[in-house]
C-alpha cells in the first residue's frame, strides 16, 4: 500500500474515533490499526527523505 492510501485510511479511522459512535473495544481496535498505519507512513516518508538526500547530494 502506498503513503496516500495509508493516510486516507488513517484519516478515516480518526473520523470514526471522533464520531463518538464506537464502543471501547472498537475504539481500541481502530487506535491499534491507526498506530500501525502511522508506522507505515513514517517508514515510507523516511525512505523518501533518503532518496531526496541522494538526489540532492548527486547534483551538488
What local confidence, expressed as pLDDT, does residue 35 receive?
A: 97
* pLDDT tens digits, one per residue of 1-14: 799 999 999 999 99
Sequence-distant (6+) residues with CB within 8 A of 14 are: 34
CB of 3 closer than 8 Å to CB of 45 = yes
pLDDT band at 59 (very low <50, low <70, confident <90, very high): confident
Q: How far apart are CA 60 and CA 46, in angstroms?
A: 21
Q: Cell match 516518508: residue?
A: 45
CB of 30 closer than 8 Å to CB of 17 = yes
Q: Cell match 533518503: residue?
A: 50
Amino acid at each position: 500500500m502506498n503513503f496516500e492510501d495509508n493516510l486516507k485510511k488513517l484519516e478515516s479511522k480518526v473520523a470514526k474515533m471522533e464520531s463518538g459512535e464506537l464502543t471501547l473495544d472498537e475504539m481500541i481496535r481502530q487506535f491499534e490499526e491507526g498506530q500501525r498505519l502511522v508506522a507505515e507512513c513514517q517508514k515510507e516518508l523516511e525512505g523518501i527523505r533518503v532518496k531526496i538526500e541522494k538526489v540532492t547530494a548527486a547534483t551538488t
